[in-house]
Structure 1
């Protein structure tokens, strides 16, 4: 157990109490904080109460469905988040400085890139780097590198954090695809396959919406693979990354009235991790395979 001390060595704050409070401040409720931390909500409540006693301040207004911070709580949360960032920076530095040839590195990437570009090339990477074990996460959500969810990420939006090391490694382009028998039907009779409505903001979905011209989306899926399989079954027309659609022999690419969008792909890590030879090897590997499949210039 770690504590922060006053100058007379009297214990002042338990670091775990402070950490639980930071997560509560971020999530807004005891239940959400408990899910994030992997504990029950009563544990979060006890930790917050202990911190309030240590500081002799009321930090949270306890309401039935939420736990808004008091003015003192907001001030303490802001300071505590700065401490959390420093602690995480120390951890990152130690991982980079103490990195050994045998390393385990977590990579986050969009699902299509993770499954169809990175995973198939892992055997070659292992032959070249047998002492590096990769853990690959394919997610539409950006991994929080500042909270240790991954060491390296491939993102489809340029990060805004000033302290990240960012490199553009490719450009993802999109096309419209269907089975030949679907493509042979009159275009006005086409039906479409798209993303779940909660992902309607995605660039590729907005492009697909612009092509509908009154025609229907008859099936939605939260990931591109569900959409691809529905199109392979002949359900309708689907928008896919070009590297995915062109590689599927059952599809033909359809002409479109609206030019297809392109999204830059960014490789992201923290500069203090970059000193690790293992991190550099993984970054070079990702740059190579993504850059080859998603070339910046057509």
Structure 2
């Protein structure tokens, strides 16, 4: 069975844009859409007027509303839903092992305000086994296509596959960004690099990007590609492009022991500050095979 598109649902109002985006994506991929509401009952933190049954019922009601919304948007896709009795971050990371794509809304599951700066979104994007898309409603002037951050010296096939495939399915142009800076001059006691000739450095960075993109353009001849090798900070440049692009795609290059964890500094900054949906693509690796979910507790 094809892996579904899974979207985390908190409440209908905050999840609307994410559900619409996920439904569109499920249809374009030919996948089913699975809506999940994850919650962990903590009576010490809940209002006195709220009990476990009422909280669970509220989650089921939210799922029913957004499931109807997705089905009305695309009657030809299969829509299922379910409530998961565990914390949102644990549930979503576990479900990602069986998902083709995981989608989170601007608030995210669990009631965290401001998903793009919240702990749940960062944790899920850093640990999920599949690509994660954090959806913020695009600005009305988001008329450009897809922007992807490319590491010219260590390109990621999974990242570029996701970006090119997304552009092809949605009929959008792709802008490949390779941001670079001059190497540091370390100082006394270190071997110094030769004097830089800016024209040569620029040409070399453009050549690196062109070499990376050449094979992909052969595989996806119908996708218009613009190559952009820029001397700039990658996060700042991608965030700026997010104002006019419909999707920004970044890789997950961090390490567990690094200061930004598995997500990496660039991806974390883009997830925090982008003005459009952001896709975070993990590095290749085995997926756990012991996660299963059915069509619904409350479909």
TM normalised by structure 2 equals 0.20
Bigger relative contact order, structure 1 or 2, given CA contacts below 8 A and separation 6+?
2
TM normalised by structure 1 equals 0.20
Larger % of helix: which?
1
Specify the structure having the higher radius of gyration (Cα). 1
